[in-house]
Structure 1
Amino acid sequence: MMHQMRAEYGAGGEAGGVRLWHMVRGTQSVAMCGRELDPGAPVRETVDWGKTPELCCHTCGAYFLRETPYLSAEHQ
């Protein structure tokens, strides 16, 4: 299953900038934590999780880790 990060805007919508990053399945606009996100909000690759100046949703991160297989030691 493909995942991607999708932004949650701050106060003022798009003009308010990104407040928080969530994880979504596929290209959905509902975060793994259940929050409805703007379908036109910016997206990022999963490898950017934790590497953004904005915070990432803790709940989405936990769900993502539970359904994404860990890399074996030989692939690291």
Structure 2
Amino acid sequence: MMHQMRAEYGADGEAGGVRLWHMVRGEESVAMCGRELDPAARVREAVDWGKTPELCCHTCGAYFLREAPYLAAEHP
């Protein structure tokens, strides 16, 4: 299963910039923390987690880190 980061925007939408980055499975628009995100929101590769000037969702990060090692072991 592939993961990617998806942006959550503030009240001004995309024009206001990224408020927080979330992790999603595949191309889903529901974050691993349960927040529904705009399906058209910007995405980034999962390897960018923690490397953005904007904050990343702590809950998504915890779920991702628990899941990612198992997925890597399945696909050498």
- Length-normalised TM-score, structure 2: 0.89
How far did residue 14 of structure 1 move? 1.2
Partner of 2:67: 67
Partner of 2:54: 54
What residue identity is the alignment partner of 1:62? A
Of structures 1 and 2, the larger Rg is shown by 1
How far did residue 16 of structure 1 move? 1.2
- 5 Å-filtered alignment, 1:1-76, equals 1-69=1-69
Q: Which runs of 4+ in 1 moved over 4 A?
A: none
- Length-normalised TM-score, structure 1: 0.89
How far did residue 15 of structure 1 move? 1.2
SS of structure 2 residue aligned to 1:18: strand
Gaps of 5+ in 1: none
Identity %: 88
